[in-house]
Homo-oligomer: A and B are copies of this chain.
């Protein structure tokens, strides 16, 4: 059997470590600026790829990411598995049932939002194939279909993230946008499968284009009807008769790998099989949340970053950047999507402002355009400048959605407890012995920071305290008040070894005291709800009480809020 030499194994691990570490670092960094982590992950890949590392440290680059030989093949295989796993989770998150629940409006938004940009892309490709970097000697119809597809698919995960951040997910606009984006995703992947099936080199698996179309459609339809029903029937058996969650995890991953293999056999790409499998599995109410949570966390935090960083390895993003092509693509992508989805929303009976909001939300593009771009580049259907333009377009449309909607609907970003706490308001050892003592102590530190008098804050807090007790479970107390004239909300965290009676429901004295003060014109609801979710986990309270420094306190507060 062929084995990797020790040196090759070392390079594979080194390359993966470099990709993952830089992707995660850059992803977390851009998150600090409220940008999606995928942006950072792609930038990390561009830095490690031919654009920067390859240019300035060609020896290091050639060692880490050789273009030929065993290491290149193994990395290619691992990236292929990463993207298959990523699409599995994307599929699991698609909720087919909800699409039909939204009915007419969602279908209108989705279909107009796909047809118009598809038409723009298709027509532009027919008129300016050379300008748009069509590959040498490609079939103009396939190229036009590719361009249409590449412009028309919204990125479900990005759209969901934007709606959650703007607290629009549970509004009418939010549910319609989510359902439309899911429908978009599903139709988009089927289109994607068809276009891939028609690309020349894939036909090397021995299927003709019509044969491929039939295979794609029947696979999607069968998997989402019979397959879905079978999975729904089999899952309880697996859940009942195997170890939990091992049996279910093994089943899902085996099925995904098999579907990926079948999709490749059918002449389309493995990711299509993985996505459809995910959609069929995710539908079953028998899939427990904790099972899918394990898949989700490892895939989005290990395999997805590897894939997104690998995008930057494909080409030089500076020399292949063609401003004209890129701006043209961004222009027709935005115009087509906002116009189409917005028009659909108007027809569905929404007002103009909301319709534009829907258009803006649906405008975000993501992984699918990039995967499609990579495959088209490898198949010779497009040249590098179009690949770069597609990646940039996907990033730009994702980046502008949230700020644009924020301006349109004047939404403020919701604040969370852990964003507001600060080191100077962490009082690790309160001196007071009584409830009023510690409240006075905390107010005296907190009030000056927001231009207020400590006595006034204390009076408001203790008045509020008389109305309802602020003692919670696990030895936590959360006194709060609205204070007129506060410049911003403020949170002080105090600890005391002694334990102070805050009349809590479980009768335990409070050792962790969280003082929340919010401006009068702003509800403290966000912060209180956040505190409520956070401190319902005993582990969080215990860790906060044991924290030796402000960083350890922050670490304790950075817990799952669900």
A-side residues, CB < 8 A to B, are 1-7, 9-14, 16-17, 20-21, 23-24, 27-28, 31, 37, 67-70, 72-74, 76-78, 80-81, 84, 201-202, 204-205, 235-237, 239-247, 249-251, 253-255, 257-258, 260-261, 264-265, 267, 270, 286, 288-290, 293-295, 297-298, 300-302, 305, 313-314, 378, 539, 549, 551-555, 557-560
Residues of B within 8 A of A1 (CB): 67-68, 72, 76, 313-314
A257–B13 CB distance below 8 A: yes
Least CB distance from A437 to B in Å reads: 30
B77–A560 CB distance below 8 A: no
Least CB distance from A441 to B in Å reads: 25
A243–B28 CB distance below 8 A: yes
Our pick among B7, B77, B201, B246 for the contact of A74 (Cβ within 8 Å) is: B77
A264–B6 CB distance below 8 A: yes
A138 to B153, CA, bound (A): 61
Given contacts A539-B288, A555-B236, contact A2 B73 (CB under 8 A): yes
17 further contact pairs, Cβ within 8 A, besides A10-B205, A31-B243, A289-B539:
A1-B313, A4-B80, A7-B204, A13-B261, A14-B257, A17-B257, A20-B250, A24-B246, A24-B254, A28-B247, A37-B246, A74-B78, A240-B553, A245-B297, A249-B301, A293-B294, A294-B297
Residues of B within 8 A of A254 (CB): 17, 20-21, 24
Residues of B within 8 A of A297 (CB): 245-246, 249, 294
Given contacts A14-B261, A257-B13, A302-B249, contact A559 B244 (CB under 8 A): yes
Our pick among B11, B74, B270 for the contact of A9 (Cβ within 8 Å) is: B270
Our pick among B13, B78, B264, B549 for the contact of A260 (Cβ within 8 Å) is: B13
Q: Which 4 A-B pairs have the closest CB atoms?
A: A24-B250, A240-B554, A74-B77, A239-B555
Residues of B within 8 A of A267 (CB): 6
Point out which of A24, A314, A557 has the most chain B C-beta atoms below 10 A from its C-beta.
Answer: A24
Residues of B within 8 A of A205 (CB): 6-7, 10
Residues of B within 8 A of A301 (CB): 245-246, 249-250, 253
Residues of B within 8 A of A241 (CB): 28, 554
Least CB distance from A294 to B in Å reads: 4
Given contacts A4-B76, A551-B240, contact A84 B251 (CB under 8 A): no
Residues of B within 8 A of A68 (CB): 1-2
Q: Can you offer 11 A-B residue contacts whose CB atoms are under 8 A?
A: A2-B72, A3-B73, A4-B80, A17-B258, A21-B254, A24-B246, A239-B555, A240-B555, A249-B298, A249-B302, A298-B298
A289 to B560, CA, bound (A): 12
Instruction: Closest B residue to A293 by CB, please name it.
Output: B294
Instruction: Closest B residue to A260 by CB, please name it.
Output: B13
Least CB distance from A32 to B in Å reads: 8
A250 to B16, CA, bound (A): 12
A202 to B295, CA, bound (A): 36
Residues of B within 8 A of A76 (CB): 1-4, 74
Our pick among B70, B201, B202 for the contact of A73 (Cβ within 8 Å) is: B70
A204 to B365, CA, bound (A): 48
Given contacts A3-B378, A298-B295, A378-B3, contact A12 B245 (CB under 8 A): no
Least CB distance from A22 to B in Å reads: 9
Point out which of A14, A84, A250, A539 has the most chain B C-beta atoms below 10 A from its C-beta.
Answer: A250
